[in-house]
Amino acid sequence: MTENSEKYNPDILLNKLNETEGLDKASVLADLTVAFRAINPEKVIEFGKQGLELLQDTEDKKLESAILLQLSWANQCIGEYHISLEYGFKALNLANETNDDQSKPDALNQIGGAYFRMAKYDKALEYFMKSLRIQENIGNKQGIAGLYINIGIICYRIGDYKKALDYYNQSIQIFEEIDNRNHLDTVYNNAGVIYRELGELDKALEYHTKALEIRDELGKKWRIPHSLSNIGAVLKDMKDYDRSFEYFFRSLTIAEEIGNRPVIATILISLGEISILINHFDEAQEYVTKGLNIANEIDAPALKSECCDVMSTILEQKGDFREALEYQKQFKELSDKIFTEDSSKKYYELQVSYETEKKEKESEIYRLRNIELVKANEKLTKALAEVKTLSGLLPICASCKKIRDDSGYWEQIEEYVSERSNAQFSHGICPECMKKLYPEYK
């Protein structure tokens, strides 16, 4: 067992909780919120609230901030988005008060996540981008990769699949570089969703299977229903309805065990869609009605919109055209609220703003590198100026050994070479010439 896994072992922490008091107990409760993230968000909320109570009369802002962030995340999981926002903004205010650059991007990310689940995509992107800029400034690669996932999801939601895959691929590259499998499952899962939308079903099944394997391996029970549902959706598109039902029911069982209401609603919608395909319209209506009730309870506009669309199809198939039209009207109203023109405009404005800022930073780095390159070139040019070289064919007289220059004049070899290189000559007589010219001195 690693040191980190021991630190966040639920059984060890629960035993420790009974043995501690005061601020130490609050610290254990904070660790428990981390330990139960992959198991049960309801427990995260329970321990988080206890921890905040103990911290009321203390000045441990860092611990308070950590608990607030966990509470924001957990409330998103159970569909309490407004409460999630409340905790997220409290964590952000605390981070601003204490100049905590580590907690601030996390708080911005949680706020963006809550807005995303409320289908306020322009607001979500705004906070994700703010968080991304901070993570880039402090060089937090894991944080950057995580935000690429979140921004990619927004791109997917508004139909920009290519941009979404670009963000996911960048995220995968970073997680592999830092050897972090803990978040790879999310990227694989999201990429699989896009490949399904693009009709690349084998690729989609491959990515969702990878995500499920990692979640099984790491014990991410909270995330397993997502993977099972996504595999079920791909199998539905492959017209393998029996296996599709099997995966959706497995997913529903786990989601109900852990109380993940948004996922339960999503699964019920999917079961309704399959029931339509096999002409079981009464069953389909029953599933979607349950899903719509949950969507209304947790106030999830995107889920309500989807339920209304599927319900309209069911009623149309049953011949109840008046009711079908009413649900289609509700679907359109909800869709118009979610995907407003202003929202899309804001999305593209933020994208352009971020890309421009990124290019400006890259341009500044390029400019500074060019300055260094110019300096290096100046040094090299100066050095080369001091070095003269000879190259090519040299016409030389076979008798006197004079060399013909480029202008056609004949020069002594010493003069020619000296002018065109740094070589200097000292004169002597070789043994052969000594015999020839001065035989008396041989």
**Gap between the Cα atoms of 74 and 382, Å rounded:** 65
Judging by beta carbons within 10 Å of its beta carbon (0-12, 13-18, 19+), is residue 159 exposed, middle or buried?
A: exposed
Helix-, strand-, coil-residue percentages of the chain, each rounded to 5 = 75, 0, 20
Q: Which of 172, 161, 177, 235 is nearest to 201 (CA)?
A: 235
Q: State the Cα angle at 288 between 286 and 289, rounded to 5°.
A: 65
Q: State the Cα angle at 254 between 250 and 257, rounded to 5°.
A: 145
Asked if 1-139 and 158-259 have one fold, the answer is yes
Whether 142 contacts 183, CB under 8 Å: yes
**Gap between the Cα atoms of 153 and 347, Å rounded:** 13
Structure tokens of 16? 């420790």
Q: Which of 330, 315, 263, 332 is nearest to 291 (CA)?
A: 263
Q: Specify the DSSP class assigned to residue 295.
A: H
User: 99 — alpha (psi -120 to 50), left (phi > 0) or beta?
Assistant: left
Superfamily of the domain at 1-139: Tetratricopeptide repeat domain (1.25.40.10)
Please state, as a whole number, how many other Cβ atoms lie within 10 Å of the Cβ of residue 266: 27
How far are the Cα atoms of 263, 268, 374, 386, 419 from residue 380, in angstroms, in the given order?
65, 71, 10, 10, 22
Please state, as a whole number, how many other Cβ atoms lie within 10 Å of the Cβ of residue 310: 25
Reported as a single tens digit per residue, the pLDDT across 177-230 is 988 888 888 889 989 999 998 999 999 999 999 999 999 998 888 889 989 999
How far are the Cα atoms of 177, 233, 269, 354, 371 from residue 205, in angstroms, in the given order?
24, 9, 20, 33, 50
> Which residues, in sequence order, are bridge partners of residue 107?
none
Tens of pLDDT, residue by residue, the chain (442 residues): 344 556 778 888 888 888 888 788 888 888 888 888 877 888 899 999 998 888 887 778 888 999 999 999 999 988 888 999 999 999 999 999 888 888 899 999 999 999 988 888 888 989 999 999 999 998 999 999 999 999 998 888 888 899 999 999 999 999 989 888 888 888 899 899 999 989 999 999 999 999 999 999 988 888 899 899 999 999 999 999 999 999 999 999 999 988 888 889 999 999 999 999 999 999 999 999 999 999 999 888 889 999 999 999 999 998 888 888 899 888 888 888 776 544 555 555 555 555 655 555 555 555 566 666 666 666 666 655 554 555 556 677 766 777 777 666 777 776 766 666 666 666 666 777 767 666 665 5
**Gap between the Cα atoms of 76 and 416, Å rounded:** 85
Q: How do beta strands 403-404 and 410-411 pair?
A: antiparallel
Whether 174 contacts 144, CB under 8 Å: yes
Judging by beta carbons within 10 Å of its beta carbon (0-12, 13-18, 19+), is residue 28 exposed, middle or buried?
A: buried
Q: Count Cα atoms within 13 angstroms, Cβ side, for 220.
A: 19
**Gap between the Cα atoms of 339 and 347, Å rounded:** 11
Q: What per-residue confidence (pLDDT) applies to 285? A: 95
User: End-to-end CA distance of the chain, in Å?
Assistant: 92
Q: Count Cα atoms within 13 angstroms, Cβ side, for 63.
A: 24
Judging by beta carbons within 10 Å of its beta carbon (0-12, 13-18, 19+), is residue 289 exposed, middle or buried?
A: middle
Q: Specify the DSSP class assigned to residue 439.
A: G
Sole residue written with tokens 């921004």: 151
* CATH number of the structural domain 158-259: 1.25.40.10
**Gap between the Cα atoms of 230 and 222, Å rounded:** 14
**Gap between the Cα atoms of 416 and 303, Å rounded:** 89
Superfamily of the domain at 269-348: Tetratricopeptide repeat domain (1.25.40.10)
Provide the angle, in degrees to the nearest 10, between the axes of the packed helices 261-277 and 224-237: 20
Residue ranges of E strands in 307-427: 403-404, 410-411
**Gap between the Cα atoms of 352 and 435, Å rounded:** 87
Listed by start position, the domains of the chain span: 1-139, 158-259, 269-348, 403-441
Q: What per-residue confidence (pLDDT) applies to 192? A: 93
